Amino acid sequence: MAKYKRICKFCGKPFETKFHNKVYCSPRCKSDNENTRKRVHPETADETKKTNDIKEDEKKVLLWLKNKPLSIGEISRRLDKSKETIIKLTDNLQNKGYDLKLDKSSKQFILEREFATAFKPLKLSTIFKRELTFGIVSDNHTGSKYQQMTILKTAYADFIQQKVAFVLHAGDITDGINMYRGQVSELFLHGADEQAEYIVEYYPKAPFKTYIISGNHDTSYKRAVGYNVVRHGICDKRDDLVFRGEESSEFDVKGLRIGILHPSGGVAYARSYRAQKIIESVVTDTINHVKDWQEKRAALPHIFIIGHYHISNYLPYYMGVATINAPCMQAQTPYLKRKGLSPELGYVIMKVVFSDMGIPIKITPDFVNCMPYIKEKDY
């Protein structure tokens, strides 16, 4: 084995080695040298490593090695320099951070790769290709003395101003009948016909469609007399109001898959909790609804809208779904007050941005809080 005579780069002692690229007499000297370098230039070490002081010969070698591996002998002939000089040169390049490796079998140097130094951002106009805006309302409970028609009208005025493509209604457009003891005294409209006719006349009219599902209050007429009030009493009489199913629906709009659900039962009516407990139960229920939806249907939607809880909440990416609990449009009733429940009133404007690949890449709900504008006797 040929031996190389060297001077240790750190301590300066002469030493012999059979490895041509060894420059320190001991591992200790190697690590001490590295530590010293770190101490001397802690912040700039990386910066200077690759850019500083690349000599002409080093540049040439890098350029050659980019094209193909070369042995020490080949480099030495090309540069017309001694093998010792080439070894120093390759050592220098390694110290500067170039990924120069010696292949043992071919005895050639290989330049593994250079790291990219210029990163271009993606074109924003490409990843944010088109936008879709739509509105969400829920739980008007029309016919209840605690309905808030002014807030509903305001929501639609905003929807028109924001140029929404459509509105989704997550159920309980009517207050229904026989929902709980004492409901009768909370109503100013009694029965399916009174509530439906009122909605046909006074529900805000708009240039876009509102897609509606029935909630458990609406289906109270179905349970009592077999009548689908949302479909026949309301949507058959208004072109802009479209019936989409009972208590749940899903559909595709312009590359977006949307699920809507109006569960029955659950926290809003079953149990009385303090505010913190209520939101915890709503989130737990919501998570269960997402799991349930996945079990029963082929695919999860991009956006999942849930009515019925009368509480606003946004769960941005549970199981890849943006889930919205829609606020309501009915003030606290004596019934809710007895249970210690405070509803949240408002509406939502959804902004969805699609990438050039048609993927909803940005989903932003604007929850509009209408609590300060609750009116007494808004009927």
> Which residues contact Zn ion (rule: CB under 5 A)?
139, 172, 215-216, 308
- CB of 215: closest distance to Zn ion in angstroms? 4
Residue number with CB closer to Zn ion (265 or 320): 265
Residue number with CB closer to Zn ion (326 or 349): 326
Residue burial 322-343, b: 16+ Cβ < 10 Å; e: rest: bbbbbbbbbbebebbeebebeb
Strands 209-214 and 166-169: parallel
φ and ψ of 24, to 5 deg: -115, 145
- CB of 216: closest distance to Zn ion in angstroms? 4
Structure tokens at 63: 């350029």
Residue number with CB closer to Zn ion (336 or 349): 336
Burial class (CB in 10 A: 0-12, 13-18, 19+), 88: middle
Residue number with CB closer to Zn ion (241 or 341): 341
Q: Which helix (DSSP H) or strand (DSSP E) does residue 339 occupy?
A: helix 334-339
Q: Residue 186: which of 197, 177, 198, 173 has the closest Cα?
A: 177
Distance CA 49, CA 96 (A): 4
- CB of 247: closest distance to Zn ion in angstroms? 9
Distance CA 43, CA 63 (A): 28
- CB of 124: closest distance to Zn ion in angstroms? 41
- CB of 371: closest distance to Zn ion in angstroms? 17
- CB of 115: closest distance to Zn ion in angstroms? 58
In SS3 terms, 28-64 reads as HHHHHHHHHHHHHCCCCHHHHHHHCCCCHHHHHHHHH
Residue number with CB closer to Zn ion (159 or 269): 269
Which amino acid, 135? G
Report the largest interatomic distance among the alpha carbons of the chain, rounded to a whole angstrom: 105
Residue number with CB closer to Zn ion (109 or 367): 367
